[in-house]
Structure 1
Amino acid sequence: MEPTHRALPVGFRFRPTNCEISNYFLKKKALGQPMKARTIPEECHDIFSRHPRDLPGYPSEEHWYYFCRKRDNQVTSNSHNLWTPIGEETNVLDPKNNDALVGIKRRFTLIAQEEEESDNICLSDDEEALKYNWFMDEISLPQTVTNTDWVLCHIFGKKTKPETTDLSTIDSESE
C-alpha cells in the first residue's frame, strides 16, 4: 500500500511525544480500537527499504509517521541505502502514571551510499543544498501492554550544512 500525505490545517503540526505514540496511537492500533485524531499515521510495510526522499511530501515535510509490522531483522538494504540500528533500546515512560513503562524505542540511521558522480551532473544549487542526516525512531509496545508486532516509525531528518572550503586559508598556506 502506497502511503498518502495528509495535510493539516495551516498553523498545525503533527509531532506527538513518544509517550503519546505509545499510549494513544500504537496501543489503539494494536488493540483494534478507533482513533479520534484528525491525523492518523499510515501503514507502510516496506519503510525500512525506502529512502525518505521517496516519501509523500518530500522535501516540504521533514517528519513522517508510519505503522508497520515488526520483523525479526529490521535492517534492510538495496543498492542505494541501508537503515542500521544505532545506540541502545530506551524505555518510553509515562510521567503522568508514575513513570510506568509504556513503550520501547529503537533508533536507526540511514547510511546512504554515495552515488556515482555521473548520476549527479545536472543538480541545481537548491538540490545540492538539501543535505540531511536521516533517523528513524521505532516505537513498540512492551509485552506487559499487549503481545503485538505493530510498531510506529517516526522518520525525520536533521539538516546539515554543505561542506565549504575557505579559499583564504588555502591561499595563505600556499604562500
Structure 2
Amino acid sequence: MAKVSQFGVIGSMSKLPPGFVFEPTDEEILFEYLRRKIFALPLPASIIPELINLSNHDPWDLPGGGKQAGYFFSNLIGANNAVIRATSCGYWKAQGVPKQISPSSSDAHNRMMVGMKKTLVFYRGRPPHGSRTSWVMHEYRLVPAPSAARAPQLNSWVSELGRWVLCRVFVKKTSSGSRRDFTSMDVSSSSGSCITEDSSSGDENEEQTSEWFRS
C-alpha cells in the first residue's frame, strides 16, 4: 500500500467505480469499519486510509481538500493521554453532546460495544477569539457496553477500544447550498505561520489556550 509521508497516511483512498459513492451509515462506520480496524479483522473494503495525528493537519490540507467528505482512521491520543485539537492555523472545538449509537445487529461482539459520535467544528486563530469556519469533523469511537465494562476478564479487550477513532471531515454546506472554499482565505498551508500570537500574553493565556485544545 502507498504511504504519503507528508501526512503520515498509510494506505490510500481506493478509487470507486463510476457511479459508486462511499456513504456509510453511522452504524456501519462504527461496527463494520472501526470495530474491524481495532481488532485487525478484514474490512468490507480497503477504502479508508490511516492518518496518524489527524488533528495536527489543517482540514484544507487533508486528502480530498473539502471537495468530498474524507474518512480516516486516526489515533488522537497524545502525551499524558490527552487529545490535542490544535493545528498550525486553528483548532477543532467540540459542539454539543456526543451522540450514542447502539448496534442493531444481533452479533454478540457488536452487542458488547456502544458507539459514540462527536461533532467538532474548525476555528481559525487562537481561542477564545477563533473564527468559526464551515469545516466539520464527525469523530466516531467505540466504548464498552455497561455489561462488558463490568466483566474483569474483558479488561484487555476493553483497552483496545481506546486506541483508534474514525473521523469524517467535510465542509458544511451554506444556506445557499454551496460550499465555502477556505483554501483561499490567506491560508499558507505549507508555512505553518498563519497564526499570530501576542508575545506579551504571558503564561496565563498560554495555559488557557492549551485547555481549549484538549477534548
Map 1:101-116 to 2 at 5 A.
Answer: 102-113=114-125
1:137: which partner in 2?
A: 138
Q: 1:76 to 1:89 in 2, by over 3 A?
A: same
The TM-score, its normalising length taken from structure 2, stands at 0.58
1:65: which partner in 2?
A: 71
1:12: which partner in 2?
A: 20
SS at match of 2:159: coil
The answer to whether the 8 A contact 1:92-1:102 is kept is yes
Q: Comparing both structures, which one devotes a greater share of its residues to strand?
A: 1
Post-superposition offset of 1:38: 4.8
2:94: which partner in 1?
A: 85
Q: 1:87 to 1:75 in 2, by over 3 A?
A: farther
* Separation (CA, whole Å) in 2 of partners of 1:7 and 1:60: 15
Counterpart of 2:103 (choices 79, 84, 94) is 94
Counterpart of 1:28 (choices 12, 31, 36) is 36
* Separation (CA, whole Å) in 2 of partners of 1:25 and 1:17: 11
- RMSD, aligned α-carbons: 2.7
Q: Which runs of 5+ in 1 are unaligned?
A: 115-131, 163-175
Does structure 1 residue 155 correspond to structure 2 residue 169?
Answer: yes
The TM-score, its normalising length taken from structure 1, stands at 0.69
1:120: which partner in 2?
A: none
1:76: which partner in 2?
A: 85
Q: 1:59 to 1:107 in 2, by over 3 A?
A: closer
- Higher CA-based Rg: 1
Residues 64-73 or 139-148, more deviating: 139-148
SS at match of 2:70: strand
Q: Which runs of 5+ in 2 are unaligned?
A: 127-132, 149-156, 179-215
Name the count of aligned residue pairs. Answer: 143
Post-superposition offset of 1:57: 2.5
Identity, % of aligned pairs?
28
Does structure 1 residue 55 correspond to structure 2 residue 62?
Answer: yes
List per-residue Cα deviations over 1:32-85 (Å, max 9, x = no partner).
11123152x111122112122111232532x01111114233342244111111
